[in-house]
Amino acid sequence: MEAKVKVKEKYNWPVTILLILGLITVIFPLYLTVVIAFKQPTEMTNSVSGILSLPASWSLSNFREAMRVTDFWHSLFNSFLITGVTVILSVTLHSMIGYAVGRNKAKSKWYNFIYLYIVSGMFVPFAILMMPLVKETAKLGLANIAGVIICYVVFYMPMNLMLYAGYLTNIPLALEEAARVDGATTWRTYWTIIFPIMRPMHATVAVITALSVWNDVMTPLVIMSGSGLNTLPLAQLNFQTQFGTNYNLAFASYLLALLPILVFYVICQKQILNGVVNGAVK
């Protein structure tokens, strides 16, 4: 009989330790957010044990007060409107631009220049654009939600173009050639063949764009200032005053703002990994 050879399992301890530290880094702030959101201000002390301890009673009063202070439903609607329209426009416009540029940049210096020119926009800091944007949107009558959406569509074009152009390298040209032989136009080929195939990248672009737009404060702050309109991040600035911050209400509001985008991510997560991996191939 052949002797059974026992294979000794080896653990990569450095990687395991890093993963554990990473897990603690994520879980610890989330734990503090949940605990502080349910605590009353009187339970907050300067001691570490007072902050880390569980609430004496799990009450939703902080959440109700946070919703009142932030005018939650109106702010939530504005955030949904800005994020939803931005995502739809980004997926539609940026995928078309990515298709046009990505298919031609290898054989045309002009398209390659356009690609590099647009992608270089990722390296322009928002601080440089902030004051010109405020003046231009005011002059054009776009110091409102429409102006914010237009700015977002332009801001995220460089990253999304790079992702779409990279993803197109995984789609064989034979599919388009076969469609042309059958008499399909470029427009029809794109919408009936290419656009559905890029669904994983659509999900990736949608989540990345939605996360960035949903959590952004600066763009709505500088453009919609004085309009009386608030997004959730803008409304949460009400918890910060000259004399301090109401952490209990602020953390409760943060949890409320987290739930919609978390649900959106869970719905799209199956497509995201495939889209990121394939989009990185150039």
User: CB neighbours (10 Å) of residue 50?
Assistant: 11
- Kindly report the pTM of this predicted structure: 0.82
Question: Is a pLDDT exceeding 80 seen at residue 278?
Answer: no
What's the average model confidence in pLDDT over 207-233? 87
Q: Measure the CA–CA gap between 150 and 143, rounded to whole angstroms.
A: 11
Q: Please tell me the predicted confidence (pLDDT) of residue 50.
A: 64
pLDDT tens readout for residues 52-106: 777 877 888 888 888 888 888 999 999 999 999 999 999 999 999 999 998 888 7
**Contacting residues for 126 by C-beta, under 8 A, at least 6 apart:** 155, 218, 219
- In order of 83, 239, 241, the CA distances from 223 in angstroms are 16, 21, 22
pLDDT tens readout for residues 132-184: 888 888 888 888 899 999 999 999 999 999 999 988 888 888 888 888 888 88
**Helix and strand totals (H; E) in the chain:** 16, 2
What's the average model confidence in pLDDT over 26-46? 80
Q: Please tell me the predicted confidence (pLDDT) of residue 236.
A: 84
CB–CB of 137/143 below 8 Å? yes
Q: Can you say how many angstroms the Cα of residue 194 is from the centroid of all Cα atoms in its chain? A: 24
Q: Please tell me the predicted confidence (pLDDT) of residue 242.
A: 46
Residue 281, by phi and psi: left (phi above 0), alpha (psi -120 to 50) or beta? beta
